[in-house]
Structure 1
Amino acid sequence: MSLRKNEGPNVVVIGGGTGLSILLRGLKEFTTNITAIVTVADDGGGSGILREDLGMLPPGDIRACILALANTEPTMEKLLNFRFENGMLKGQSFGNLFIAAMNEIYGSFEMAVKETSNVLSITGKVLPMTIDNINLYAELENGMIIKGESNIPEEVKRTGSRIKKVFIDSKGSYPLEDAINAIDIADLIVLGPGSLYTSVMPNFLVNNMIDKIYNAKAPKVYICNVMTQPGETDGYGLIDHVQAILDHSREDLLDYVIVNTEEIPEETLNKYTTDGSAPVIAKEGDEEILNSKNIELISDNLIDIKKDYIRHDNIELSKLLINIVRSKATAM
């Protein structure tokens, strides 16, 4: 049974990358009141080319989230996901070009995203984390400073030094008013899943965002990645992921952390471990550490494997999120 408009709890999801768009596809089955606040710090691939050539914000993660929430014909989705294989447009997606055209027509990235969302009749809203042009930097534990989201994993792998912190170069960047309003009325605020330092964390770095999230009445949930990410979270366990979030925000920001406990088939796992990835699991003592920070650990079987790609099971994950809202409402 399909949901009617304005049905279900208000859920704000903050992040970027593949993980966020996968979650949104599941979440829209349980509520129509979704606001996705998406990073615009990426500077690689097709998005990076458009950012450099046209001086616009990178559309890639925005496009993926709009399509995840779209209510449109399969042919239209295939069209917007289509990537050119030859010529000057090689590697560029039609969806990115569509948003770029909207940006030119309306003279505003914010309006381009809104109008693209309207054309595709999406469930909820997709918002860029800011409309200011920002660059992401990382300071490594060896003191090295790296500029550019796409350069960070490569330099971490090259130097073997972990990321100490990430930051942006624009001190005058602010979140959109629509994003702030959505956070204020949210029933649940979700961080991730997605690349820890380059998809989730950049959203914290615009002015006032951490304070707005912290002061919101809604419970705050962090969804930990199923696997570590080479060049970004090598050797990280669950507590390392959580502590990185807290170090870039506030020690008492989170109410819940969700982690997968399902065992990954060996054949699939081997393909990831060859590339340097490892499962992120809750180790003995992790729950006690989280409890000492007043964070409740939620663990469950949460993976979905398709064509040997490990992803979150977005339906089961969405059920957990909706249950948090319901249990909070029952307790009040």
Structure 2
Amino acid sequence: MSGTAQTNITSSSRVAFRERVMMGTVTSVPCCIFLFINVTMLFTLRSKAVFCESSRYILLFNLLLADTIQMTLGQLMYILSVCNERLTYPVCGLLVMLTIFTNEVSPLTLVVMSLERYVAVCHPMRHTSIVTSTNTALAIMVVWAISSLNILVHIVLLLDFPFEDLDTLVMKDFCGVLVMFLGSMSEDYDRAFVSFVFVSAAAVITSTYIGVMVAARSASADKASARKARNTLLLHLAQLGLSLLSTIHNSVVGSIARVVTRPVLIIILNTLYVLVIMLPRCLSSLIYGLRDKTIRPVLFYHLCCGLKLKPRVSP
């Protein structure tokens, strides 16, 4: 009986190991592909002077940088959970704070990018004087400063937790954003801040879209430019919606876990992780890399490792 029990334990351990390897592979392969595309896009936006000097491409670089960092941190924490690794509270807190930090940069950058498109269409004569490299750098600094203040508030709320009463600093659960909300105040604050950011961003992007629509009806407007800006703003709204989905991912998973079996839950978890967490972080590269005629040849050139399609953009 002892030998049979030992055999069953060994067999179940092998099954659990195969499940972990399969889950890690299913998510790691798409993540590596998305990271390769994003890193190539970041390199592309620094390969030509036209990209480094244009405010539009500088803002795109900032958006892609935040999304790439977010994707990397998310995959790291996912792999740690698959491997059953338990972190200490300080290490997990650092990873979670970096995740929250970069997560708020994306919607705020989309707001700035939408305002830039609005100025380009509705005030074309003043675009060069308003949207300068200095003003763009200042806007990016404001975006990162707002995210930094959010992190400071989270740290203050975390310090209020009595860590000295714990027997050990090693966490009992896997590292994640919700796990580090050690008090109700932290969770309430995060929910309020996220709601404020996304509602404000949606209001600004919608307002700029309406402004572009009104400007497109005027006789003096550049119809092609207005139509392209309108489509870009719609894409910004879609990106914002996908980013919002990623913030409610854990709540959705928690609800699903109560009504499905474990094998089904694992499939749903992996599918949602790829579609809701990783894919939106790569959409900016795909959208701008395929739509923008200036970026497209250079991006394809670098994606093909210089083997095909020599770029025709002047240095």
TM-score by length of 2: 0.26
Q: Report the structure, 1 or 2, having the larger helix content.
A: 2
Q: Report the structure, 1 or 2, having the larger strand content.
A: 1
Higher relative contact order (CA 8 A, sep 6+): 2
TM-score by length of 1: 0.25
